Amino acid sequence: MEESAKKRKIIHVDMDAFYASVEQLDNPELRGKPVAVGGGSERGVVSAASYEARKFGVRSAMAGGLARRLCPELIFVKTRFERYREISAQIREVFFEYTDLVEPLSLDEAYLDVTENKKGNPSASLIAKEIRAKIKEKTGLNASAGISVNKFIAKVASDINKPNGQKTIGPEEVIPFLEKLDIRKFYGVGKVTAEKMYQLGIFTGNDLKLKSLEYLQEKFGKSGAFYYNVVRGIHNSQVKPDRIRKSLGAERTFSENISSEIFMIERLENIAEEIERRLKKSDVAGKTVTLKIKYSDFTLKTRSKTLPYFIRSKEVILETARELLFQEKMENSVRLLGITLANLNTEDRDQKSVEQKVIAVQLKFDF
């Protein structure tokens, strides 16, 4: 493992079943019961599931109809993003008591670089324990944490003792830990990649480590170098407090398949309006419009167009999406439409001030 990688102490904090836990917190009648946040119809999608629901196999991104079949007593509740954002802000206030190097990944998880911290505490493990206790005290919710020398390992570690636990992988434990780790547990290795690795005889980190860089690049393209490095404990991505948004989008899954282009335009208008609202709230604009179409047979197609100027108005977004919609003949009835605006004007912002904040010179490590 690179010497420079040993000079950082990274914590990954991940709230336990966040959306579902918030609903159980606010409604005592839901506590101890299987709860799913999101659409409960056959075409709806589960956004989050309580641990009681997970015992039945209910998972996020699962179709609502399937979730009901797995757990007939499953209770569906509507998403309340404003409430989730409110609690997320309280959680981040706790993070900033310890360090300014906080990189949120979503409303319910973040990386913290505590190599040098506001409390002067040399133990990242103790800091993680304090943070989890303060979150519990402030919000009533449980959090889990992973602690290690880089973001990759901290992310993997945070899942080991869930819920309401933490796991520390110290500098000398990194390589043995990665060698024994099931390849499915590697952050960034999805179901398709895992299956491909199985076919290549790669089941654990040690199996992965035995493959050469050239071999992994041949089989996995650009990702090959990433796999080659992370299994050796090399992952130098810094905690970036001001992560720059690279795209913004919205999509809708319909309760019934639609084939009328008039209906499609109506749906796209609603989506464009939502994107405009979010663009104005974030004070950003973009140049590249991408239309996402999922047909009734689950075939997914995308079409994109880059404009010579930045846009944020729903009228221009809709007109461009409309043009993309009619670019090719529709292949089938449609179950989902989405619009994404990329090539945002945030990408040119100077990041030097952020990089200068990153400090990784700690010499003594009390994990």
Which residues are known catalytic residues?
A: 109
**Distance (Å, rounded) from C-alpha 161 to C-alpha 159?**
6
**Distance (Å, rounded) from C-alpha 327 to C-alpha 344?**
24
Contact 342, 98 (CB under 8 A): no
132, amino acid identity: R
Report which DSSP code applies to 142. -
Q: What SS3 class is residue 133?
A: helix
Strands (E), the chain: 10-15, 35-38, 46-49, 75-77, 102-106, 109-113, 143-148, 166-168, 247-258, 286-295, 300-311, 334-344
Contact 338, 328 (CB under 8 A): no
Q: Cα–chain-centroid distance for residue 234?
A: 21
How open is the CA angle 171-158-194, to the nearest 5 degrees?
A: 95
**Distance (Å, rounded) from C-alpha 194 to C-alpha 201?**
10
Contact 25, 141 (CB under 8 A): yes
Contact 36, 53 (CB under 8 A): yes
